[in-house]
Amino acid sequence: MPRELTERDISILKKLAPECGELTCSGSGHIFHSILPPVSNHFSEDTDDFIQRISRLSDDELTYITEMILKGEESMGCLPLEDIEAFVHLIHERLSKEIAQKVIAAYESGSECER
């Protein structure tokens, strides 16, 4: 379900993609409704770049994004599989195996693409 990004969301997005000037997809012109898809699909050059970017997250920010995923408010549906795996690995390493498994389950339950 699309959501309007909060100031906290925008702050995290700008931390992960400082070059993000506008909060719209350059291809479609649609406003971003999530943090991870634009970072993965619009700003990261490849999975290594995505990993470098998400590694900037504090544990508090990582927990926040994870909670949003579990509530169905943050999308992973249109991320490349390699980026999903990298994000889940980061959660496993920094938060817990259990939370990583919950994120995988949320993804597998049918996330649609939300920018």
Question: Would you kindly state where each structural domain of the chain is located, as residue ranges?
Answer: 7-108
Mean pLDDT (the chain) is 88
Predicted pLDDT of residue 20: 83
Question: What are the tens digits of pLDDT across the range 49-83?
Answer: 999 999 999 999 999 999 999 999 998 988 999 99
pLDDT score at 90 = 98
Range 83-86 contact pairs with CB under 8 angstroms and sequence separation of 24 or more:
83/36, 83/40, 83/44, 83/47, 83/50, 86/47, 86/50, 86/51, 86/54
Q: Decide: 61 and 90 in contact? Cβ < 8 Å.
A: no
Please list the residues that pair with 24 across neighbouring strands: 31
Predicted confidence (pLDDT) per residue in 28-46, tens digit: 556 778 999 999 998 999 9
What distance in Å separates the CA atoms of residue 23 and residue 31, rounded to the nearest whole number? 6
pLDDT, residue 114, reads 44
**Which range (12-16, 19-23, 55-59, 76-80) has the least confidence?**
19-23
Instruction: Tell if the pTM clears 0.85, that is, is over it.
Output: yes
For position 110, what pLDDT does the model report? 67
Q: Which residue has the tokens 């693409």?
A: 113
In angstroms, rounded to a whole number, what is the distance separating the alpha carbons of residues 68 and 62?
A: 10
At 1 the pLDDT is 47
Q: Quote the percentage of the chain above a pLDDT of 90.
A: 70
Report the alpha-carbon distance of residue 115 to residue 22 in Å, rounded.
Answer: 13
Phi/psi at 65 (nearest 5 deg)?
A: -65, -40
